[in-house]
Amino acid sequence: MPLIFVPTPLGNLRDVTLRALDVLREAALIVAEDTRVARKLLRALELDGREIWSYREQNAASVTAAILDRARTSLVAVTCDAGMPGVSDPGSALIAAARAGGVPVEVLPGPSAATAVALLSGFPLHRFTFEGFPPRTAAARRERFSDALRQRATTLWYESPHRLRATLTDLAQVAPDAQVFVVREYTKLHEQHLWGTPQQVIGELPDPLRGEVAFAIAPYAWTQVTERPPEEAGDAIDALLATGRRVSEVAKLLAARGFGDRRQLYAHAAARKARREASINHS
């Protein structure tokens, strides 16, 4: 029997597909990210009373084998809290384990906030990338945005509502004139769309900010990014090297601060460190 991944509605229950209803109805076992959310959904779809197991990042190692054993003899449906299981949610590792164990896998088409924000943005989609959630720390976010903007493609992101302002603030430090589209509460009663530069979008966000959030950044010419003059980068490298930091740390920190490409900064810092050490040895 197959292991079937079943997308669930992002908000509006009418977005559930007929095939998803069939699978959820026929499944001997339903695997869910949060069993409470799954029971609420199944109740709303008049499919309550089903056997449900929890599968999430914290318990995946201990339950994967048992899930696959059930899938060898009966139909097992895999869901997540909303949207496509395995996209920024647990699931992809389970598919890999199923493939390795010879268990057939099917994935039903269905709702995904990533593709929705891509289309709603109006940004070019001949090439786009899904970046998932930005890092939790400011320096790491700025570095990630710097790397993503170099792709010169539309990039798609998820974010939690309580971090969105900080995330857009970090984007503004890297690329203040970037064009951003934010969709909040997609398919729900209070759905909201916001366009503009990071600071313009921040100014339009409600307070308090609640609900699911996805956003897109339009393709960005990296030559637009405000980078520091070479001599300023050199001074910053020397200052950090003087504190005893490794070359890799110096490159990472300065890339996050907008001094340029991390790999180029690494080469620049390595060369300056070598000259510095040679000067000390000859003195």
Find the radius of gyration of the CA atoms of the chain. 23
Looking at the domain 113-224, which fold is it? 3.30.950
Q: What is the pLDDT of residues 183-196, one digit of tens each?
A: 999 999 889 999 99
Q: What's the predicted TM-score (pTM) here?
A: 0.71
214, pLDDT greater than 70: yes
Percent of the chain having pLDDT more than 70? 94
| Cα–Cα dist 166/260, whole Å | 22
Mean pLDDT over residues 235-253, rounded?
A: 85
Q: What is the pLDDT of residues 69-125, one digit of tens each?
A: 999 999 999 999 999 998 767 788 899 999 999 999 999 998 888 999 999 999 999
pLDDT at res. 90? 73
pLDDT at res. 277? 80
pLDDT at res. 72? 95
Maximum pairwise Cα distance, the chain: 82
Nearest to 236 by CA among 225, 250, 256, 222: 250
| Same fold? 3-107, 113-224 | no
Domain boundaries, the chain: 3-107, 113-224, 230-282
Helices within 27-137 (DSSP H only): 35-44, 60-71, 92-100, 113-121
Percent of the chain having pLDDT more than 90? 60
Q: Collapsing DSSP states into helix, strand and coil, what is residue 30?
A: strand
Mean pLDDT over residues 43-56, rounded?
A: 93
Paired strand residues for 129: 155
CATH class of the domain defined by 3-107: alpha beta
243, pLDDT greater than 90: no
pLDDT at res. 226? 46
